[in-house]
């Protein structure tokens, strides 16, 4: 082993770059963190991996509840526009009014 090493051109960085992920620091409610840790332990995966998967699922829109507004929009796109139909009774009323 050398007595001294040359570090003047050294860079401070991770030894093994982790592509596709970024280290962050966030505050999470203790109850949420405890729930993820407990669930991850029973499943046998890391709680951070499970949290990452939950965030991905939320962003993808999977399992989002359908709201009344979105349901109405879907029905308007799929169903034909309602047309007014005259029933026998209303047709007779129209004819009576026309005769007056």
pLDDT of 15-70, one tens digit each? 777 788 888 999 999 999 999 999 999 999 999 999 999 999 888 876 677 889 88
The model scores a pTM over 0.85: no
Single out the residue of 30, 36, 35, 32 nearest to residue 48, CA to CA: 36
Name the phi and psi angles at 85, rounded to 5: -115, 140
Residue-wise pLDDT for 9-29, tens only, equals 888 876 777 788 888 999 999
């Amino acid at each position: 082993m050398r007595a001294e090493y040359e570090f003047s051109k050294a860079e401070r960085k991770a030894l093994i770059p982790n592509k596709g992920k970024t280290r962050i620091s966030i505050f999470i409610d203790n109850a949420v963190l405890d729930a993820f840790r407990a669930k991850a332990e029973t499943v046998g995966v890391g709680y951070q991996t499970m949290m990452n998967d939950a965030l991905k699922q939320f962003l993808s829109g999977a399992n989002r509840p359908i709201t009344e507004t979105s349901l109405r929009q879907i029905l308007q796109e799929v169903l034909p526009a309602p047309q007014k139909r005259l029933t026998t009774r209303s047709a007779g009323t129209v004819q009576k009014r026309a005769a007056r």
